[in-house]
Amino acid sequence: MVIVMKLDSSPEQIENVNQRLQKHGFQMQTIHGVKRIVIGAVGDLESINISTLETMPGVEKVVRIMKPYKMVSREARGEDTVVQAGNVRIGGNKLAIIAGPCAVETEEQLYAAARAVKKSGATALRGGTYKPRTSPYSFQGLEEEGLRLLAAAGAETGLATVTEVIDAESMHTAEHYVDILQIGARNMQNFQLLRLAGQAKKPILLKRGLSATIEEWLMAAEYIVSSGNENVILCERGIRTFETSTRNTLDLSAVALVKTLTHLPVIADPSHATGKRELVASMSRAAVAAGADGLIIEVHPDPSAALCDGPQSLNPEEFDALMNTMRPLAAAMGRGI
Ligand code: PEP
Ligand code: MN
The enclosing H or E element of 183 equals: strand 180-183
pLDDT at 233: 98
Which amino acid is residue 27, in one-letter code? Q
With bands split at pLDDT 50, 70 and 90, how would you rate the model's confidence at 45?
A: confident
Q: Is 205 in the pocket of ligand 1 (CB under 6 A)?
A: no
Pairwise pLDDT comparison (34 vs 158), residue with the higher score: 158
Nearest one of 224, 327, 249 to 285, comparing CA atoms: 327
Instruction: Give the three-state DSSP class for 83.
Output: strand
Instruction: Give the three-state DSSP class for 310.
Output: helix
Q: For residues 329 and 319, what is the distance between their CA atoms, to the nearest angstrom?
A: 15
317 Cα–ligand 1 center, Å: 23
Q: Are 37 and 31 in contact (CB under 8 A)?
A: yes
Q: In ligand 1, which atom is closest to the CA atom of 103?
A: 3
With bands split at pLDDT 50, 70 and 90, how would you rate the model's confidence at 37?
A: confident
Q: Is 208 in the pocket of ligand 1 (CB under 6 A)?
A: no
Q: What is the mean pLDDT of residues 323-332?
A: 96
Q: Is 237 in the pocket of ligand 1 (CB under 6 A)?
A: yes
Closest Cα to atom 6 of ligand 1: 184
List residues bridging with 40 in a β-sheet. Answer: 2, 29
Nearest one of 253, 259, 261 to 65, comparing CA atoms: 261
Tell me which of 164, 251, 313 to substitute to probe ligand 1's pocket, judged by most ligand atoms within 8 Å of the beta carbon.
164
Q: For residues 297 and 271, what is the distance between their CA atoms, to the nearest angstrom?
A: 6
Q: What does the mean pLDDT of the chain come to? A: 95
Q: For residues 156 and 203, what is the distance between their CA atoms, to the nearest angstrom?
A: 21
pLDDT at 34: 67
Q: Is 162 in the pocket of ligand 1 (CB under 6 A)?
A: no
Has residue 66 got a pLDDT over 90?
no
Q: What is the pTM of this model?
A: 0.93
pLDDT at 251: 98
287 Cα–ligand 2 center, Å: 18
Q: Is 247 in the pocket of ligand 1 (CB under 6 A)?
A: no
Q: For residues 93 and 116, what is the distance between their CA atoms, to the nearest angstrom?
A: 24
Has residue 335 got a pLDDT over 90?
yes
Closest Cα to atom 1 of ligand 1: 102
100 Cα–ligand 2 center, Å: 10
pLDDT tens digits along 256-297: 999 999 999 999 999 999 999 999 999 999 999 999 999 999
pLDDT tens digits along 197-210: 999 999 999 999 99
Nearest one of 183, 238, 233 to 212, comparing CA atoms: 238
Q: What is the mean pLDDT of residues 27-43?
A: 82
Pairing of strands 204-207, 232-236: parallel
Contacts of 282 (CB under 8 A, 6+ apart): none
184 Cα–ligand 1 center, Å: 5
Nearest one of 146, 205, 148 to 181, comparing CA atoms: 205
Length of the chain: 337
Q: Are 164 and 190 in contact (CB under 8 A)?
A: no
Report helix angle 191-199 to 214-226, nearest 10. Answer: 40
Q: What is the mean pLDDT of residues 173-194?
A: 98
Nearest one of 232, 223, 287 to 265, comparing CA atoms: 232
pLDDT tens digits along 94-116: 999 999 999 999 999 999 999 99
Has residue 325 got a pLDDT over 80?
yes
Q: Are 174 and 181 in contact (CB under 8 A)?
A: yes
Closest Cα to atom 10 of ligand 1: 185
